Amino acid sequence: MTLDPVLARIDADLPHATNRLLELLRIPSISTDPAYKGDCDTAADWLVADLQSIGFEASKRPTTGHPMVVAHTGGDGPHILFYGHYDVQPVDPLELWDRDPFDPQVEDTAKGKVIRGRGSSDDKGQLMTFVEACRAWKAEHGTLPANITIFFEGEEESGSPSLTPFMEENRDELTADIALICDTGLYGDSTPAIITQLRGLLGEELTITGPNKDLHSGMYGGLAMNPARVLARIIASLHDDNGRITVPGFYDGVPDLSNELAAAWDDLKFDHKEFLGEVGLSDPAGEVGRRPLEMIWSRPTCEVNGIWSGYTGDGFKTVLPSEASAKISFRLVGTQDPLKIRENFRKMVQDMLPADCAVTFGDHGASAAGQMTTTHPAFDQARKALSDEWPNAAAYVGCGGSIPIAGHFKDILDMDAMLIGFGKDDDQIHSPNEKYDLSSFHKGIRSWARILDAMTR
C-alpha cells in the first residue's frame, strides 16, 4: 500500500473534511455543564456513525458521566491506540467572542485561513486529523492500514472522572502496542513536535485563620494578628532570591538536563523574548542560571494561582480579616514525589505559623511527572514521517503542562504513549475566539497518514 495516493486524496478531500469538522463543532458538547449532557451524547453518536462509515466497529460506551467512544479495525500489523477527547470547554465570557462559538466557520486572517469555533483546536480538530487520515487510507486502499483502536473521551475538560475506572474495566480491549495522543501543539509555527516529557502537578489550597470573626482595624489593629499578613509571609518565603523553591527536600529527584537534551534544546533556538513578548513580558523570571526552555519544560515550579482575604469589593472597609486563603500549584519533574512534597510543604507552613493562627489544607490533586520511552521504534518512525511533511525537522520537546492520560496509559495498561499535535500557541484554547489553523488541520491529516505508513511499512 503506497502513501502518495493517500496524500493526494487528503488534499483533494480537504473541503469535505473541513465540512465534517464544522458539523462536529456545531454540537455544543460542554462536559462540565449538566445543561449540555444531551449534546455530549450527540457528539459521541456522531463520532460512532462517522467511524462506522469508514470501517470501524465503533460503539458508544456508557459511564456514570459522559460516554466513551471505542472503535476497532482488528486485523494484523502493529496494534495502535489513538486517543482524543470530544468534549469542550465552556464558552464564557460569551461577549468576548466575535462569533457564535458553536456556529464555526473558516475565516481568512492575516496569517492564513483558520477554523474558528469552540473545540476547533482543543480537541475536535485534532482528533479529526487522525480520523480523516484513516478515511483517506480506506478510500484509497479499501482497508485500514493497521490494527487500530480509537478511544475518545467526553470528560477531559471536566476532570476525567470516568477515565481510569473505564480503563481498568476494559484493560484488555484498550491495551495496544503504543498509544498516540493528539492534544498538544507544534513547536513554534512549523516545527512538528513529539513530547518526551511532561511535568507533574501538585495542587494545594490553604486557609490561614486568626480571629474568630472579621475585626475593626481601628479597634484591634496593631494588637490582633492579621492572617493576610501571615499568608503573605508564607507565600513570599516559598522562593529564595535566586528563584529556587524553599520547601525542604523539594529538589530530591530533579535531574539535571543531560548534555544530549541540552544540545537538542539549544538547537531549537527558543526565542524567549518573542515567547514572553506575546504576553507583555520580557525577562525570564525563573531560577537564576537556567535556560528559559528548562524553566518551562524541565524545572519544577511553584505558582500562586489565587489569593483572597478580607474585603475585595469597591471602596474601602477597614476590616482586619479573620482568614486568608491561597491556591498554590507545583509543577513537578523527574522523580519528584508529589505526596512527599505535599507533606513537606504543609509542615513548612505549619512551622511558620505565629501564635493564634491555624491552617487548614485542601487537596487539589497530585500527579508525578511523565517521561516518555523514546526507545520505542514508533518514536523514530514518527520523527522521520513528520520531518517529511513539515518545513522543519521534527523535534523532541518537553511540555510544561500536565497531561495525566499519558501516565494512565503507562500505569494502568503498561503502554507507552507518544504525544503529537498540531495546535499553535495562538489557538486561544479555553478562551474566546478559539481557532485551529486550516494548515494545522490539513498537514495534521497528512502527518498521521505518513506516521501510519511509517509504522506499518
Which 161-200 residues touch its own copies, going by CB under 8 A? 199
Q: Does residue 217 bind its own copies (CB under 8 A)?
A: yes
Q: How far is the CB of 397 from its own copies (least distance, A)?
A: 12
Q: Does residue 240 bind its own copies (CB under 8 A)?
A: no
Q: For strands 178-181 and 79-85, give the pairing.
A: parallel
3-state secondary structure of 219: helix
Q: Between 103 and 303, name the residue whose CB sits nearer to its own copies.
A: 303
Stretch that binds its own copies, among 1-9, 90-98, 311-319, 378-386 (CB under 8 A): 311-319
Q: Between 51 and 320, name the residue whose CB sits nearer to its own copies.
A: 320
Q: Does residue 239 bind its own copies (CB under 8 A)?
A: yes
Q: Does residue 317 bind its own copies (CB under 8 A)?
A: yes
Spatial distance between the Cα atoms of 437 and 427, rounded to a whole number of angstroms = 8
Q: Does residue 126 bind its own copies (CB under 8 A)?
A: no
Q: How many residues bind its own copies (CB under 8 A)?
A: 81
Spatial distance between the Cα atoms of 122 and 89, rounded to a whole number of angstroms = 8
Q: Contact 257/396 with Cβ under 8 angstroms?
A: no
3-state secondary structure of 180: strand
| Phi and psi at residue 207, to the nearest 5° | -130, 120
Q: Does residue 398 bind its own copies (CB under 8 A)?
A: no
Helix ranges restricted to H, 142-203 = 163-169, 171-174
Spatial distance between the Cα atoms of 168 and 158, rounded to a whole number of angstroms = 19
Interacting residue with its own copies among 228, 369, 382, 445 (CB under 8 A): 228
Stretch that binds its own copies, among 89-97, 129-137, 141-149, 201-209 (CB under 8 A): 201-209
For its own copies, the binding residues in 272-301 under the rule CB under 8 A are 272, 275-276, 279-287, 292, 295-296, 299-301
Q: Between 108 and 316, name the residue whose CB sits nearer to its own copies.
A: 316
| Cis before 123? omega within 30 | yes
Q: Of 226, 425, 242, nearest to 324 (Cα)?
A: 226
For its own copies, the binding residues in 321-350 under the rule CB under 8 A are 321, 324-325, 327, 329, 331
Interacting residue with its own copies among 182, 206, 320, 366 (CB under 8 A): 320
For its own copies, the binding residues in 412-431 under the rule CB under 8 A are 425, 430
Cell of 80: 495502535
Q: Does residue 361 bind its own copies (CB under 8 A)?
A: no
Q: How far is the CB of 121 from its own copies (least distance, A)?
A: 13
Q: Does residue 203 bind its own copies (CB under 8 A)?
A: yes
- Nearest-5° angle of CA 372, CA 377, CA 378? 70
Q: Between 317 and 457, name the residue whose CB sits nearer to its own copies.
A: 317
Q: How far is the CB of 276 from its own copies (least distance, A)?
A: 6
Q: How far is CA 296 from the centre of its chain?
A: 14
Q: Contact 290/299 with Cβ under 8 angstroms?
A: yes
Stretch that binds its own copies, among 37-45, 130-138, 304-312, 442-450 (CB under 8 A): 304-312
Q: Quick one: angle between helices 377-389 and 438-456, nearest 10? A: 140
Q: Does residue 222 bind its own copies (CB under 8 A)?
A: yes
Q: Does residue 98 bind its own copies (CB under 8 A)?
A: no
Place of cell 535566586: 242
* DSSP classification of residue 432: T
Spatial distance between the Cα atoms of 122 and 81, rounded to a whole number of angstroms = 19
Q: Does residue 401 bind its own copies (CB under 8 A)?
A: yes
Q: Between 67 and 200, name the residue whose CB sits nearer to its own copies.
A: 200
Q: How far is the CB of 313 from its own copies (least distance, A)?
A: 8
Q: Contact 247/256 with Cβ under 8 angstroms?
A: no
Spatial distance between the Cα atoms of 16 and 103, rounded to a whole number of angstroms = 17
Task: Map residues 40-79 to x or -, x wherever contact with its own copies holds by CB under 8 A.
Answer: ----------------------------------------
Interacting residue with its own copies among 139, 232, 268, 412 (CB under 8 A): 232
Interacting residue with its own copies among 5, 188, 249, 310 (CB under 8 A): 310
* DSSP classification of residue 77: S
Q: How far is the CB of 270 from its own copies (least distance, A)?
A: 10
Q: Contact 134/451 with Cβ under 8 angstroms?
A: no
Stretch that binds its own copies, among 72-80, 101-109, 206-214, 340-348 (CB under 8 A): 206-214
Spatial distance between the Cα atoms of 433 and 105, rounded to a whole number of angstroms = 11
Cell of 455: 509504522
Q: Between 255 and 286, name the residue whose CB sits nearer to its own copies.
A: 286
